[in-house]
Structure 1
Amino acid sequence: MKLKSKLLSMALAFVPVIGFADSNIKMVVGTYTDAGSQGLYSFSFDQSTGTASGITSLKVDNPSYFTFSKDGRNIYAVSEKNNATAVLNSIGYDPVNGTFAFKNSQLTHGADPCYVATDGKIALTANYSGGTISVFPILKNGTLGKSLLQVGSKKGGPDRSCQNTPHAHCAIFAPDGYILTTDFSGDRILCFSYNERNKKLEDHGIAAHVKPGSGPRHLVFSPNGKYAYLMSELSGKVTVYSYSDGKLKELQSIAADYANARGGADIHVSPDGSFVYASTRLKGDGITIFRVNNNGTLTRVGAQRTAKHPRNFAITPNGKFLLVACRDDNSIQVYSRDKSTGMLKNTNQDVILSHPVCIKFYPE
């Protein structure tokens, strides 16, 4: 299939697609659009060889983070803007052809939305500069209703250079349905639930306090839902929690950012739950690798240097590859992954793309 984007056709090193074998899955990438990027890009990715083949693109302003609906037929993508034009977009996605179809957008009423999650009934955005969480009803056709409400974070962290104003960085659905949000400036993880009848978030208080000055950023759960792993941006540490009924109990805090660059970014658990990976940037850019112990705690087993500014990364559903979006080197690096040791090896099959910042695979 020929590319619709001239930029993509010039920039990407494509591999011909001969049919769609079982090893081929769809992959979508979000980019910053300040340097000529279209916005969203669709690929076919071969999970056996680690090669990516471009399909098409869709013009969207700064889709720096997005998520698939549970059935994969819709994508909800932020337009990260630092003003009143910031929106959440609903985009149809054809999993057979890998094509996009814009549906609608709604204002977030919070600047710089940088994260989005959905449970199929509502979508949530974390608005970094707005310091709020916005809630959008999802209509039957997958479009978005207007934002119903915003929940605010607070300022007050000891790092006055970064925590002097409220910031929200992540909003996720816990395995039992609670909503957990990272209060970056308040050094807290907050807990809510959505009351569908009253169309509002119910406040369940603080799920966990984080060490002052940490700047909690991204939170993920283990596959069994018993443990949660927090990546903090400013401290560069991963905090391990046990989880139950909307509350987090700290088990461990372990360094990921050994360069002390204050650039902790993303965190993911391998599909089999055996390893945790965390990206760090600004200095010593790379991925830190942790083995998961029987009690959920972590042991650092290695690190993999990457290209510049590895903000987001993703692991293929079969666990064979880990792809890193290196924003400032305009590339997605493809690493093979040893499932027994967790170690990574560069396949040198980079996908060249302007300012990539979010990678997602079609949900299987």
Structure 2
Amino acid sequence: MKVKSSLLGMALAILPVFGFAGNNIKMVVGTYTDAGSQGLYSFSFDQSTGEVSALSSLSVDNPSYFTFSKNGRFIYAVSEQNSSKAVLNCIGFDPVTGSFSFMNSQLTHGADPCYVDTDGRIALTANYSSGTISVFPILKNGTLDKSQLQISSRKGGPNRSRQGIPHAHCAVFAPDGNIFATDFSGDRLLSFYYNKDEQKLEDHGIAAHVKAGSGPRHLVFSPNGKYAYLMNELSGKVIVYKYTEGKLKEIQSVLADNAQAKGGADIHVSPDGMFVYASTRLEGDGITIFRTDYNGKLTRVGMQPTGRHPRNFAITPNGKFLLVACRDDNKIQVFSRDKNTGMLQNTNQDISLSRPACVKFYRIK
């Protein structure tokens, strides 16, 4: 199904769909569907100019976060629902045309799945409102088997209004295959490993404690796998870890949210590993920019204001653009990125879309 131009609210450049020899890549956007959005949208994005053209859409309930399979043929997208409708969806994706096809879905048995990651063997969801992690074996045809396991986080943080019940916000694979989950209410990082033979997660215990009331949210690794960066929602701080053989050692904590709005959100590392970007919301919405040094530590070098509620953002594979999903302004902002300074500049090439929540790129390798 083609995306109607009225949904985009702008005249989008017409780009060749099959021209992958140059800078033409695919972009997929997940949205909240409570205000008329269909769900998933695909676009063709020219990462040399920042121009975009609409390709396809698919009706999916609240696909607020998703991830690609390694070959780009499947998308695993949550349906963030606080009910029995909370599922993980497997969606076929044509990385050449950008078209979607629904494959199957499986119940998470956990409320409000808000994050998903995969290593090709299994998919993991972090279920925010139930504080659990669901594990889905991936079948040979790429579809999802039933959820087998759930790992529970705990309550106990001092922020009673935000940490009064268990919450889990992220479950991510490290480059070496280890699994880490953010225990938002317990102020901890949990460590696991998937035993393929026994088809179960091995509990490796607490990978790290964070200061009480921090609310750990998203964890990302540097391109070389030597460092990890944790965005804390409530404290607004980024914690830097040295990563060695499955172990995290804290080496720095630096503030990203100057407004102290308790709205720290997403975090990503530039493709060259030289800069870290963190989004903050609720007040002073924007992207905080950090330069990395040879030890992985961060120096704050700038802050780029954005539209309202920058829940998620993505950097193009060539590092030239950074796109921000501004959920409450119903648009995706396109910023050009200076690779030497890390600074961002608004290109004013906004993509109008109802309640965007997740942006990801896929390039045929």
For residue 360 of structure 1, report the CA deviation from its aligned partner: 0.4
% identity of equivalent residues: 75
Report the counterpart of residue 85 of structure 1 in structure 2: 85
For residue 9 of structure 1, report the CA deviation from its aligned partner: 4.8
Q: Distance in 2 between matches of 1:175 and 1:35?
A: 37
**Superposition RMSD in Å:** 1.1
Report the counterpart of residue 30 of structure 1 in structure 2: 30
Report the counterpart of residue 4 of structure 1 in structure 2: 2
Q: Distance in 2 between matches of 1:272 and 1:8?
A: 37
1:114-140 per-residue CA deviation (whole Å, 9 max, x = no partner) reads 000000000000000010000000001
Aligned pair count? 362
> Structure 1 segments of 4 or more deviating over 3 A?
5-13
Report the counterpart of residue 284 of structure 2 in structure 1: 284
Report the counterpart of residue 186 of structure 1 in structure 2: 186
Report the counterpart of residue 203 of structure 1 in structure 2: 203
Q: Distance in 2 between matches of 1:96 and 1:261?
A: 41
Q: Is the 8 A contact 2:135 2:148 kept in 1?
A: yes
Report the counterpart of residue 304 of structure 2 in structure 1: 304
For residue 18 of structure 1, report the CA deviation from its aligned partner: 3.9
Secondary structure at the aligned position of 1:328 is classed as helix
Q: Distance in 2 between matches of 1:45 and 1:171?
A: 28
Q: Distance in 2 between matches of 1:146 and 1:18?
A: 39
Cα–Cα, structure 1 residues 50 and 150, in superposed 2: closer, same or farther, change >3 Å? same
Secondary structure at the aligned position of 1:311 is classed as strand
1:29-60 per-residue CA deviation (whole Å, 9 max, x = no partner) reads 00000000000000000001101110010000
Report the counterpart of residue 218 of structure 2 in structure 1: 218
Q: Is the 8 A contact 2:7 2:353 kept in 1?
A: no
Report the counterpart of residue 331 of structure 1 in structure 2: 331
Q: Distance in 1 between matches of 2:23 and 2:338?
A: 18
Q: Distance in 2 between matches of 1:89 and 1:295?
A: 39
For residue 4 of structure 1, report the CA deviation from its aligned partner: 2.6
Instruction: State the one-letter code of the partner of 1:203.
Output: D
Q: Distance in 1 between matches of 2:322 and 2:253?
A: 24
Q: Which stretches in structure 2 are left out of the alignment for 5+ residues?
A: none
1:219-269 per-residue CA deviation (whole Å, 9 max, x = no partner) reads 000011010000000000000000122221110000000000000000000
TM-score (normalised: structure 1): 0.98
Q: Which stretches in structure 1 are left out of the alignment for 5+ residues?
A: none
Q: Is the 8 A contact 2:187 2:210 kept in 1?
A: yes
Instruction: State the one-letter code of the partner of 1:211.
Output: K
Secondary structure at the aligned position of 2:156 is classed as coil
For residue 200 of structure 1, report the CA deviation from its aligned partner: 1.0
Q: Distance in 2 between matches of 1:335 and 1:355?
A: 19
Cα–Cα, structure 1 residues 125 and 10, in superposed 2: closer, same or farther, change >3 Å? closer
Q: Is the 8 A contact 2:325 2:358 kept in 1?
A: yes
For residue 199 of structure 1, report the CA deviation from its aligned partner: 1.4
Report the counterpart of residue 46 of structure 2 in structure 1: 46
Q: Does 1:13 align with 2:11?
A: yes
Q: Distance in 1 between matches of 2:196 and 2:7?
A: 45
Secondary structure at the aligned position of 2:328 is classed as helix
Q: Is the 8 A contact 1:242 1:251 kept in 2?
A: yes
Q: Distance in 2 between matches of 1:221 and 1:238?
A: 13
Q: Does 1:315 align with 2:300?
A: no
Q: Distance in 2 between matches of 1:10 and 1:271?
A: 28
1:176-225 per-residue CA deviation (whole Å, 9 max, x = no partner) reads 11100000000000000111121111100111101110000000000110
